Amino acid sequence: MAQSPHDAKPNANDIRDLFDRIAPVYDELNQSLSFGLHRIWKQMAVDWSGAQPGMNVLDVCCGSGDLALLLARQVGSQGQVTGADFAVAQLAIAAQRAADKGYSQRTQWVEADALSLPFKSDCYDALTMGYGLRNLTDIPQGLRELHRVLKPGAKAAVLDFHQPSSELAKRFQQWYLDTIVVPAAERCGLTEEYAYIGPSVDRFPSGHEQRHLAQAAGFSKAIHYPLAGGMMGVLVAQK
Ligand SMILES: C/C(=C\Cc1cc(O)c2ccccc2c1O)CCC[C@H](C)CCC[C@H](C)CCCC(C)C
Ligand SMILES: C[S@@+](CC[C@H](N)C(=O)[O-])C[C@H]1O[C@@H](n2cnc3c(N)ncnc32)[C@H](O)[C@@H]1O
């Protein structure tokens, strides 16, 4: 991506405020801008997390609840899902969506920092993190927290953007973000917020680097699965 003023790395407060601001249009823009494909990518992450009926599972950086609600369907009425995020406007939408789906009994929504999760160690049977890792100000610390809260042998499935290895795909991704995504956001008065995506993808570790970071955080196994021609990817790390 070309360098621009958007490229200064934001601090945690900036990121939290950004996601609070975009909360009212976040789901709608994701759906329209990905032609609904983001739901497929999110379901794949849930599947790779190993979540099963009756499990106690966690969705970190849950936002408006997309992955947490997929987890809630998967774990069923005997399971429990915790969604954690530090943007309260996002959590409010997640809680309302859970209520609309009749999932209030099996879900809880916790305002929390992914870098210091308020949960016991060795607690969760599986976890997901969708489009959150790239937004953390300390990725190694975020991975260490994921490792800490999982039970031994349990898996984390971490979905996010990814820089394609193919030059053509990389150019398409840049074109799409600059030409389709940002102008769409501009129509909602959110140009700056969505212009942040491109530079954040540039700064994000590759799948190969994510695997090494996961192993350094203590995970015994880590695999990265590219999706959408390498424009997205899922890191599956086992404790
Ligand atoms: C669910 C998706 C993105 C979530 C997301 C993540 C962030 O870090 C943000 C930061 C700031 C503002 C918004 C977000 C944000 O929404 C992925 C789907 C939505 C994307 C905006 C669309 C981008 C799609 C790919 C670059 C290209 C896909 C092309 C294909 C033909 C659909
Ligand atoms: C792009 S959204 C992803 C939301 C949801 N997982 C999804 O896939 O649609 C990123 C979310 O991560 C949250 N986030 C970023 N950094 C965080 C942190 N340090 N602690 C908790 N949440 C954080 C933001 O508030 C935002 O809701």
ipTM of predicted complex = 0.98
Ligand 2 atom nearest the C-alpha of 59 is 6
Please give the order of strands across the beta sheet that includes 232-238.
107-111, 80-85, 56-60, 124-130, 150-161, 232-238, 221-227
Q: Whose CA is nearest to atom 8 of ligand 2?
A: 130
CA distance 87 to 53: 28
Q: Looking at the CA of 158, which ligand is closest?
A: 2
Pairing mode, strands 150-161 and 124-130: parallel
* C-beta of 200 in contact with ligand 2 (< 6 A): no
Q: Looking at the CA of 23, which ligand is closest?
A: 2
Give the mutation target among 42, 82, 135 for probing the ligand 2 site: most ligand atoms within 8 A of CB. Answer: 135
Q: What is the pLDDT of residue 8?
A: 73
Which H/E stretch holds residue 126? Answer: strand 124-130
Amino acid at 98: A
* C-beta of 19 in contact with ligand 1 (< 6 A): no
CA distance 182 to 184: 5
Q: What is the pLDDT of residue 110?
A: 99
Residue with tokens 């950086």: 61
* C-beta of 66 in contact with ligand 2 (< 6 A): yes
Q: What is the pLDDT of residue 16?
A: 98
Residues 6+ apart with CB under 8 A from 80: 55, 56, 57, 106, 107, 108
Residues of the chain with pLDDT under 50: 1-5
Q: What is the pLDDT of residue 230?
A: 98
CA distance 119 to 153: 18
Asked if residues 12 and 87 have their Cβ atoms less than 8 Å apart, the reply is no
DSSP assignment of 159-179 equals EEE---SSHHHHHHHHHHIII
Q: What is the DSSP letter of 10?
A: P
Q: What is the pLDDT of residue 2?
A: 38
Give this prediction's pTM.
Answer: 0.97
**How much of the chain is helix, strand and coil, in % rounded to 5?**
50, 20, 30
